Structure 1
Amino acid sequence: MKKLLHNYIETFRGLSEEVWWLALITLINRAGTMVIPFLSLYLTEDLEFSLTHVGSIMMCFGLGSVAGSWLGGKLTDTIGYYKVMVRSLIGTGILFIALQFLTTFYAFCLGIFLVMLVADMFRPAMFVALSAYSKPENKTRSVTLIRLAINLGFSAGPAVGGIIITTLGYSGLFWVDGITCILATVVLFKVLNPKKITVLDNVVVTNPDSAYRDKAFVIFLVAMFLFGVIFLQYYSTMPIYYREVHMLSKLDIGLLLGANGFLIFLLEMPLIKWLENSKFSKTDLMIFGALLTASSFIILNSTTWSGILIIGMFLMTIGEMIAFPFSNAFAMERAKKGNQGEYMALYSIAFSMAHIFGHKAGMQMVNDWGFDNTWYMITAIGTFCVILLLILKSHLNLKVKLLK
């Protein structure tokens, strides 16, 4: 047991101090956005909006995320990642506090759009910062550490949010959200100020290529959008499937979804370190991750045994643990040939677009075709994702041959 713990800790060695600080800031920021899981309840219970209005507000949420990612990438290439992160964090804190004072439908639509616009400026800037603070050989593990911080933040946030709502009401939630974002700004200013740190991988491109004209990267983005669509079903249609088809209790559903975060925390870093030292390329690993995630849906139609849900969750979790870190590392590596902010913004936008269309598409398919046919369709989308990644691999291999 002691040796196992030692080996686990060893997988974290070699990461720079700046990456650890960035992970802490990300943890504070993600835990601080605890209002998001309770947004639909707040809109229906406190503001008494209709479900149609809630749907429109959530669309503004997604559009703000897309616009914020794009703007964050542009500003990162213009003024630098540090300034963008500082402005994003402090702006998000102020806007979260102000959001509670908006009580009309159109005002809230505009408010949530602006909150997400400013909040998601942080993402491409953070990815570029992560690339700068990481040694080239540690980039995938650095991404994995940030993912652990995000998962811990998302796990702790709703739990703390529930306590705050119970004791202080929704108003207290907005205040705590805002203050935590501002606290994250203070930590960022104190520990990651460019005047105080050493950049480990400073990439300067004199004649940058446009990400929009990078054929391989465009294929990759479409594949990641499709992967996002299938992955997000575990947070929209899947809980309904658990409840309506397999009659799981809310506690059982919570435990099953919670197992995802627990497995990521326990296994992801050792798994990534082991795969980094393997002979497989990043593209190979993305293909394998997408295959595992797609297979987690098709097996649900093979039996009515509820134990299949655990197997499905396990397959999806392993697929996610492989696909996300290596796709992120692939994007950061590709960004070295162009404007890094632009590249990382488009990578973020691919998943923001999946949020806009994925939840709605899944719900619509379940409503029109039922769960079994929906899982077949989701598997087909996953298969198309794998085909695109195979095309990407072939394209990259051809480029390598032409260069020789």
Structure 2
Amino acid sequence: MTVPGTPRTLPRAFWALWVCQLVNRLGSFVQPFLVLYLTQDRQLSAGTAGGVAAAVGAGSVVSQLVGGWLSDRVGRRATMLMCFFGTAAALILLGSARSMPMIWATAFAVGLLGDLFRPAVSATVADLLEPKERVRAYGLLFWAINLGFSVSTVSAGVLASLGYGLLFWLNAAASVIAGIVIWAMVPESRPKLEEGTSRRPLLPVVLRDRVFLTVVLIQTGYATIYFQGYSTLPLAMANDGLATSMYGTVMALNGIVIVVVQPLVVKRLATFDRPKLVAVSMLIVGLGFGLGAVVHEWWGYALSVVVWTIGEIGFAAVIGAVFADIAPSDLRGGYMGITGMSFGLGAVIGPLAGPNALEHLGATATWIGVALLGVVIFIAQYALSPAIHSRTAENAATT
């Protein structure tokens, strides 16, 4: 298994994870069409359907913490198997649920089980690979996720015309296939503790880790910016008289740029200073959205998307390696879970802050505010770089 521009040095277990991510995303049919399914097939109101979708999101936020804890306590492999086989069952139950209590419960279960694998996968990559290889590895996983999601969103629209029930069964089947790949090809990688020692509790360690908590806070700010693309951007384009279909076309550039550019630059990204590359990438994302203050035509918004997507590529390829570098090996899964939860918090804050700012302050002030937040987190991340390097060196000396 190779991707253009990538050396053939990554282990078999990593490529199994890569295939697993690709298959899982190729089969992600339900979530993009969940609200339509609930309103058209189950005849629920738009508000109720949105609440059910929010229940999936709430489960996902909790899932990050649970998945991180499980990957440290019971193992990475067991957590991923629990995720994929459990998600398949939850999807089938959600697709067949008729009563509202069952719909709410299974929706939350889909979110809870569906994202258990994220911290486990991130921790497994850090377990399997040397620090110098992690940027390339996390970048390739990011590429696989976007390739799979780009294909699934297009094909799901066609499949939905044949019946929403088919989406649930195919999504469940993809989850089962991903689980089989893990079962057959990915060994347990959790570092063993020294004889006579017990695993430390996560929370006391995290609360004393100021470097990690600061990076988590900065990432929450980044996620707040990033999710303007799915909340404020479509509203701003509509206010400028652009059709809804134009928003879909403009946002399609995000996936196209990632799929085309990511394999070409992933090796190069691994040579940069990681914390500083994260800082610069955040700045590019903030300034890319900030272009919304001066553009009003489709091509201007398209340029904005291309700019912040370039920043997204740099951020996504490196941030996992940064967190892996500063996380203690015995609590790596838990640390990864907290980072995922912080991104989820940004997914809540962003859609609340951006549209309200657009409504009350106007587009110009909103996008300038987003750009300024990008500058603030850039400064904070750049200033924190020496502390991150120091922590990385400490961890390297103890492993």
Q: TM-score, normalised by structure 2?
A: 0.89
Higher mean C-alpha displacement, 106-115 vs 326-335: 106-115
Superimposed CA distance per residue, residues 250-289 of structure 1 (whole angstroms, 9 cap, x where no aligned partner): 1x433322222122122223323213224xx211101100
In structure 1, runs of 5+ residues without a counterpart are: 1-5
The reply to whether residue 174 of structure 1 matches residue 193 of structure 2 is no
SS state at 2:304 partner: helix
Report the equivalent of 1:83: 78
Alpha carbons of structure 1 residues 402 and 221: separation in structure 2 relative to 1, 3 Å: closer
Superimposed CA distance per residue, residues 272-320 of structure 1 (whole angstroms, 9 cap, x where no aligned partner): 3213224xx2111011001101111222223445432232112101110
Identity of aligned residues (%): 25
Alpha carbons of structure 1 residues 297 and 275: separation in structure 2 relative to 1, 3 Å: same
The reply to whether residue 283 of structure 1 matches residue 278 of structure 2 is no
| Aligned AA (1:359) | P
| Aligned AA (2:263) | M
| Aligned AA (1:105) | M
SS state at 1:100 partner: helix
Alpha carbons of structure 1 residues 163 and 284: separation in structure 2 relative to 1, 3 Å: same
Deviation at 1:337, TM superposition (A): 4.9
Distance 1:400 1:91 in 2: 35
The reply to whether residue 226 of structure 1 matches residue 218 of structure 2 is no
Deviation at 1:211, TM superposition (A): 2.6
Alpha carbons of structure 1 residues 303 and 179: separation in structure 2 relative to 1, 3 Å: closer
Structure 1 contact 131–332 (Cα < 8 Å) conserved: yes
Deviation at 1:246, TM superposition (A): 5.3
Structure 1 contact 25–184 (Cα < 8 Å) conserved: yes
Superimposed CA distance per residue, residues 122-175 of structure 1 (whole angstroms, 9 cap, x where no aligned partner): 1111111122232332111100111111101211112221122112x1111111
Report the equivalent of 2:368: 376
Report the equivalent of 1:102: 97
Deviation at 1:186, TM superposition (A): 1.4
The reply to whether residue 261 of structure 1 matches residue 255 of structure 2 is yes
The reply to whether residue 140 of structure 1 matches residue 135 of structure 2 is yes
Structure 1 contact 49–105 (Cα < 8 Å) conserved: no
Higher mean C-alpha displacement, 298-307 vs 39-48: 298-307
Deviation at 1:402, TM superposition (A): 12
Deviation at 1:45, TM superposition (A): 1.6
Deviation at 1:33, TM superposition (A): 2.2
Alpha carbons of structure 1 residues 306 and 30: separation in structure 2 relative to 1, 3 Å: closer
Structure 1 contact 224–350 (Cα < 8 Å) conserved: yes
Report the equivalent of 1:121: 116
Deviation at 1:372, TM superposition (A): 2.2
Aligned partner of 2:181 among 182, 187, 206? 187
The reply to whether residue 157 of structure 1 matches residue 152 of structure 2 is yes
Higher mean C-alpha displacement, 9-18 vs 309-318: 9-18
| Aligned AA (2:117) | F
Alpha carbons of structure 1 residues 72 and 303: separation in structure 2 relative to 1, 3 Å: closer
Alpha carbons of structure 1 residues 112 and 286: separation in structure 2 relative to 1, 3 Å: same
Deviation at 1:329, TM superposition (A): 0.6
Alpha carbons of structure 1 residues 79 and 202: separation in structure 2 relative to 1, 3 Å: closer
Superimposed CA distance per residue, residues 216-274 of structure 1 (whole angstroms, 9 cap, x where no aligned partner): 11000011111111111112221332343152561x43332222212212222332321
Distance 1:351 1:182 in 2: 26
Aligned partner of 2:314 among 301, 307, 322? 322
Alpha carbons of structure 1 residues 9 and 52: separation in structure 2 relative to 1, 3 Å: closer
CA RMSD of aligned residues (A): 2.6
Higher mean C-alpha displacement, 371-380 vs 135-144: 371-380
| Aligned AA (2:300) | I
Alpha carbons of structure 1 residues 127 and 104: separation in structure 2 relative to 1, 3 Å: same
Alpha carbons of structure 1 residues 397 and 147: separation in structure 2 relative to 1, 3 Å: closer
Structure 2 contact 160–166 (Cα < 8 Å) conserved: yes
Higher mean C-alpha displacement, 176-185 vs 294-303: 294-303
Distance 2:27 2:299 in 1: 35
Deviation at 1:85, TM superposition (A): 0.4
Structure 1 contact 286–326 (Cα < 8 Å) conserved: yes
Structure 2 contact 140–266 (Cα < 8 Å) conserved: no
Structure 2 contact 253–302 (Cα < 8 Å) conserved: no
| Aligned AA (1:154) | F
Alpha carbons of structure 1 residues 93 and 152: separation in structure 2 relative to 1, 3 Å: same
Alpha carbons of structure 1 residues 269 and 92: separation in structure 2 relative to 1, 3 Å: same
Distance 1:325 1:397 in 2: 18
| Aligned AA (1:364) | N
Distance 2:222 2:52 in 1: 25
Alpha carbons of structure 1 residues 267 and 273: separation in structure 2 relative to 1, 3 Å: same
Structure 2 contact 220–343 (Cα < 8 Å) conserved: yes
Deviation at 1:74, TM superposition (A): 0.9
In structure 2, runs of 5+ residues without a counterpart are: none
Q: TM-score, normalised by structure 1?
A: 0.88
SS state at 2:328 partner: helix
Alpha carbons of structure 1 residues 401 and 65: separation in structure 2 relative to 1, 3 Å: closer
| Aligned AA (1:189) | W
Report the equivalent of 1:386: 378
Report the equivalent of 1:3: none
Distance 2:346 2:77 in 1: 27
Alignment of 1:288-327 (within 5 A): 288-327=280-319
Structure 1 contact 246–306 (Cα < 8 Å) conserved: no
